[in-house]
């Protein structure tokens, strides 16, 4: 993997030899895996990778993006052959088939800093599943050479623009905005069919006044590109910073739709203020539970995949391979 020996995969172009343990701004040498899972929304086997070339002050995945400085421990390095074998096994498993999994997606952290490794994994998976789709979620800070490779490799890209003005972008991420905007324009002009969505997180008092500028920038290139604006949720250094009210998101979203020229704008992803309907309905069916709180708690567990009616894990035949786990909690209100 020669590109790791003089690493210029992102716009920092550190030039370090990661194969010899040298590290650049991203803080990682060899590619390491945080975890993998079947993702229902994307119908994909999702590979979450460690390390990032940004230092975002609101990162909700800071434990893995700021690895190893975060002090947390994850799975670590596994060979591309092993990861590809596991991916094929899970995609073709009964659960994978039931979920309609037909894609391999890479997220993080920032997956594109591990591009040569990912290319090898994709190659090996395609030996078994030639028509497998490939997805990336990126912060957009790639080198232009890396971006060209990603466009060739992938079926879809989610591309996040965190701010429009350079000083705001630097204050949020620790990196200049120019490479991100350059890459957004290049992607639209050279890989329009690969774009799943552009994405921006709205942080009140920090970047909320720049969302319209981001939308206008995208519309000036291609008004048909989709933009998804997501409300900030307190995390990491901004743990005590307030998130936007629903009314504020509605105001921003409607203003963008009317003024920017973008034809495809979506906003949502709010914290729930009520118990999800599916949880209530499921709890109502649990007649064997005596207390209201017990019914609701078991309902959440069952919606996550629990097969037990008593939640006595010591007696459950599936305890060694528990099917219950956190997938996409927002699916609770989607039939």
Q: Give tens-digit pLDDT for 144-181.
A: 999 999 999 999 999 999 999 999 999 999 999 999 99
CB contact at 8 A, 53 and 162: no
**Three-state SS for 46?**
strand
Sign for the pseudo-dihedral over CA of 322, 326, 327, 333: positive
Write down the pLDDT at residue 335: 47
% of the chain beyond a pLDDT of 70: 97
Write down the pLDDT at residue 97: 95
Contacts of 53 (CB under 8 A, 6+ apart): 10, 11, 12, 24, 25, 26, 110, 113, 139, 141, 175
Write down the pLDDT at residue 305: 84
The mean pLDDT value for 12-36 works out to: 95
Summarised one tens digit per residue, pLDDT across range 259-305 is 999 999 999 877 777 888 888 999 999 988 889 999 999 998 888 88
Write down the pLDDT at residue 311: 87
What predicted TM-score, i.e. pTM, was given to this entire model?
Answer: 0.88
Least confident of 64-68, 195-199, 296-300, 324-328: 324-328
Output 142 or 279, whichever has higher pLDDT. Answer: 142
DSSP secondary structure of 263-299 = SEEEE--PPPSS--HHHHHHHHT-TT--SHHHHHHHH
DSSP secondary structure of 120-188 = HHHHHHHTT-TT-EEEEEE-S-B-HHHHHHHHHH-SEEEEE---SSHHHHHHHHSS-SHHHHHHHHHHH
Distance CA 193, CA 161 (A): 19
Q: Which domains does the chain have, with CATH numbers?
A: 2-267 (3.20.20.70), 277-333 (no CATH)
């Amino acid at each position: 993997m020669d590109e790791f020996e003089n690493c210029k995969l992102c716009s920092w172009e550190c030039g370090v030899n990661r194969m010899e343990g040298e590290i650049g701004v991203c803080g990682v040498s060899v590619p390491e895996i945080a975890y993998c899972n079947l993702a229902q929304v994307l119908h994909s086997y999702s590979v979450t990778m460690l390390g990032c070339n940004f230092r975002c002050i609101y990162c909700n995945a800071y434990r893995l993006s700021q690895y190893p400085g975060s002090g947390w421990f994850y799975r670590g390095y596994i060979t591309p052959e092993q990861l590809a074998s596991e991916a094929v096994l899970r995609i073709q498993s009964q659960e994978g088939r039931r979920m309609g999994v037909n894609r391999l997606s890479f997220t993080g952290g920032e997956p594109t800093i591990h591009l040569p490794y990912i290319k090898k994994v994709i190659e090996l998976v395609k030996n078994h599943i030639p028509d497998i789709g490939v997805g990336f979620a990126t912060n957009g800070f790639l080198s232009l050479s890396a971006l060209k490779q990603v466009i060739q490799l992938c079926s879809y890209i989610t591309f996040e623009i965190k701010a429009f003005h350079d000083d705001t972008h630097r204050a949020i991420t620790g990196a200049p905005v120019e490479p991100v905007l350059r890459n957004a324009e290049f992607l639209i002009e050279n890989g329009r069919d690969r774009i799943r969505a552009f994405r921006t997180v709205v942080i009140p008092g920090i970047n909320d006044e720049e969302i319209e500028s981001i939308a206008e920038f995208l519309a000036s290139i291609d008004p048909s590109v989709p933009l998804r604006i997501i409300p900030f949720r307190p995390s990491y250094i901004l743990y005590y910073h307030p998130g936007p009210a629903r009314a504020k998101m509605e105001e921003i979203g409607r203003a963008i739709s009317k003024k920017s020229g973008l034809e495809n704008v979506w906003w949502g992803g709010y914290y729930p203020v009520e118990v999800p309907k599916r949880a209530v309905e499921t709890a109502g069916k649990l007649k064997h539970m005596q207390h209201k709180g017990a019914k609701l708690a078991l309902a959440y567990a069952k919606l996550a995949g629990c097969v037990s009616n008593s939640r006595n894990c010591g007696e459950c035949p599936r305890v060694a391979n528990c099917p219950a786990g956190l997938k996409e909690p927002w699916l609770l209100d989607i039939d």
